[in-house]
């Protein structure tokens, strides 16, 4: 299969590696020669590291590298069966590139976008054949993260969806099919991990270190929410939340936190700026959490039930299947357990009463229980 990748930045270069490893002939295109050179050099480094670790041999390294060519013209992608765009997140620029691309490729070439926040329908609308357009959303780093969300737009044909799912599965990725709605699955369902943790901090219930300790120790999450926000970057993470909030017509469930906005404004971006919720300067010590079991449980239960509510509501609104929602969170963001599986384990009645407890306390719409959880509780049902 001939695959054209547009944009050789963080995501494009990772996706090229995945496709080339799977045996596709890849053309990686960028307008910026420096970005192309960087992508080539980065791949060399990654593959050498894989040899060191004994994961591949030199023959495999050469095979992968020879499957990728680096091109400076969009026209070079004309023989592609599938193209995946991973350029700057700007609808007007993407639309321009897509309509030019469509003039070069064959009628049956699939034109996909790796966009995180734009609607696939709006991108598809720039094409003469919108039915060939689809969202194929990888996670960073693409070669390591198992999940790929596949998002058909309302214009997308059934064949394009089927071929995309099959191709990405052949690339040894776990596919979750999602409706073309803001944040797709992961970036929607994960919001309370950050948002509720920030709210707990803002209420003065606990500090960053204690909230992180609670979710790691009691929840089994690999990183606490504040460690993770520092890792992602407070600017990037804040923008995702704000974009989702706006796209959902200001549903209070996704409301961003002033704390994070101020951290971003102050330049306390996290690891990349040397300071975020924690100090990353050399010799800096991490503050100790208050290891109070009851407090930790209170924090963990509150964040978990908000995550479960979000996952249940995504199922309620047919954003994806229960299996895909659980896979998305375990394979896309390494959650220790699928949220719907977790709901079954905790008990649907536990979820409903915890949410009602929060709602009764605050009378805020963000704590409204998903109608699906309420119905399941009434009917004594479980997700799996
Ligand atoms: N970074 C992430 O974690 C992540 C995760 C999932 C999806 N995405 C999405 O992937 C896309 C790319 O993100 P990224 O982080 O790889 O960006 P990036 O800035 O690392 O790379 C973008 C590349 O596109 C090139 N480019 C810009 N305009 C171009 C044009 N008109 N034609 C060809 N090349 C052009 C740039 O030179 C750059 O090399 C975005 O849509 C983003 O929303 C990003």
Q: How confident is the model at residue 186 (pLDDT cuts 50, 70, 90)?
A: very high
Q: Residue 290 has which token pair? A: 């208050």
Task: Check: CB of residue 148 under 8 Å from CB of residue 138.
Answer: yes
User: How much is the average pLDDT of 32-52?
Assistant: 97
Q: Could you report the per-residue pLDDT of 195-236, keeping only the tens digit for each? A: 999 999 999 999 999 999 999 999 999 999 999 999 999 999
Name the residue with tokens 């791949």.
Answer: 43
Q: Ligand 1, atom 15: nearest CA belongs to which residue?
A: 10
Give the model's pLDDT for residue 4.
98
295 exposure class (CB count in 10 Å sphere: 0-12, 13-18, 19+): middle
User: To which H or E segment does residue 299 belong?
Assistant: helix 293-316
Are domains 2-177 and 188-378 of this chain identical in fold?
Answer: no
Measure 12 CA to ligand 1 centroid, in angstroms.
7
Q: Could you report the per-residue pLDDT of 227-241, keeping only the tens digit for each? A: 999 999 999 999 999
Pairing of strands 110-113, 2-6: unpaired
Q: Could you report the per-residue pLDDT of 280-306, keeping only the tens digit for each? A: 999 999 999 999 999 999 999 999 999
- Provide Rg for the chain, Cα atoms: 22
Ranges assigned E (strand) in 7-132: 25-29, 68-71, 82-85, 110-113
Name the residue with tokens 């009645």.
Answer: 349
Query: Which of 10, 135, 232 for mutating ligand 1's site (highest number of atoms within 8 Å of CB)?
Result: 10
Q: Ligand 1, atom 38: nearest CA belongs to which residue?
A: 9
Beta-carbon contacts of 174 under 8 Å, excluding residues fewer than 6 positions away, are 146, 147, 148, 327, 331
Give the model's pLDDT for residue 115.
95
Give the model's pLDDT for residue 234.
96
Q: Could you report the per-residue pLDDT of 84-95, keeping only the tens digit for each? A: 999 999 999 999
Active-site residue, 363 included: no
User: How much is the average pLDDT of 131-157?
Assistant: 97
Beta-carbon contacts of 199 under 8 Å, excluding residues fewer than 6 positions away, are 257
Residues, the chain, total? Answer: 384
Beta bridge partners of 346: none
Measure 92 CA to ligand 1 centroid, in angstroms.
14
What is the Cα–Cα distance from 317 to 325, expressed in whole angstroms? 12
Q: Which residues line ligand 1 (CB under 6 A)?
A: 6-12, 30-32, 35, 86-89, 93, 97, 114-116, 137-138, 140
Q: Residue 268 has which token pair? A: 């306390």
Pairing of strands 133-138, 147-152: antiparallel
What is the Cα–Cα distance from 333 to 327, expressed in whole angstroms? 10
Give the model's pLDDT for residue 30.
98
Output the average pLDDT for the chain. 97
Measure 266 CA to ligand 1 centroid, in angstroms.
25
Count of alpha carbons within 13 Å of 192, Cβ hemisphere only?
23
Measure 114 CA to ligand 1 centroid, in angstroms.
9
Name the residue with tokens 């704590």.
Answer: 367
Every domain of the chain and the residues it spans? 2-177, 188-378
Closest ligand 1 atom to residue 14 Cα is 16
What is the Cα–Cα distance from 341 to 383, expressed in whole angstroms? 7
Q: Which class in CATH covers the domain with range 2-177? A: alpha beta
Q: Could you report the per-residue pLDDT of 323-334, keeping only the tens digit for each? A: 999 999 999 999
Closest ligand 1 atom to residue 93 Cα is 31
Q: Which class in CATH covers the domain with range 188-378? A: mainly alpha
Q: How confident is the model at residue 25 (pLDDT cuts 50, 70, 90)?
A: very high
Active-site residue, 321 included: no
Give the model's pLDDT for residue 26.
98
Q: How confident is the model at residue 29 (pLDDT cuts 50, 70, 90)?
A: very high
């Amino acid at each position: 299969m001939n695959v054209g990748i547009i944009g050789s930045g963080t995501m494009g270069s990772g996706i090229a590696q995945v496709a080339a490893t799977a045996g596709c002939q890849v053309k990686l295109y960028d307008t910026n020669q420096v970005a192309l050179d960087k992508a080539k050099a980065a791949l060399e480094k990654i593959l050498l590291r894989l040899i060191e670790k004994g994961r591949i041999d030199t023959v495999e390294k050469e095979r992968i590298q020879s499957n990728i060519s680096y091109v400076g013209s969009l026209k070079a992608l004309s023989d592609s069966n599938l193209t995946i765009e991973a350029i700057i997140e700007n609808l007007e620029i993407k639309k321009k590139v897509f309509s030019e691309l469509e003039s070069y490729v064959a009628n049956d070439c699939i034109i996909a976008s790796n966009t995180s926040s734009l609607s696939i329908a709006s991108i598809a609308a720039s094409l003469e054949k919108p039915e060939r357009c689809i969202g194929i959303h990888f996670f960073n780093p693409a070669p390591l993260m198992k999940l790929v969300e596949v998002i058909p737009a309302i214009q997308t044909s059934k064949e394009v969806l089927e071929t995309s799912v099959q191709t990405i599965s052949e690339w040894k990725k776990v596919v979750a099919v999602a409706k073309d709605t803001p944040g797709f699955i992961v970036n929607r369902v994960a919001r309370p991990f950050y948002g509720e943790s920030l709210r707990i901090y803002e209420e003065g219930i606990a500090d960053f270190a204690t909230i992180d300790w609670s979710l790691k120790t009691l929840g089994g999450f690999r990183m606490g929410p504040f460690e993770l926000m520092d890792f992602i970057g407070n600017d990037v993470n804040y923008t995702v939340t704000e974009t989702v909030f706006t796209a959902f017509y200001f549903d209070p469930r996704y409301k961003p936190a002033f704390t994070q906005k101020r951290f971003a404004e102050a330049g306390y971006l996290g690891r990349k700026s040397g300071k975020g919720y924690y100090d990353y300067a050399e010799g800096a010590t991490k503050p100790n959490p208050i290891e109070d079991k009851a407090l930790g449980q209170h924090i963990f239960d509150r964040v978990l039930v908000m995550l479960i509510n979000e996952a249940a509501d995504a199922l309620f609104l047919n954003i994806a299947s229960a299996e895909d929602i659980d896979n998305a969170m375990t394979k896309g963001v390494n959650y220790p357990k699928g949220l719907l599986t977790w709901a079954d384990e905790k008990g649907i009645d536990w979820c409903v009463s915890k949410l009602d407890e929060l709602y009764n306390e605050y009378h805020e719409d963000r704590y409204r229980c998903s109608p699906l959880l309420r119905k399941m509780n009434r009917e004594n049902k479980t997700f799996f």
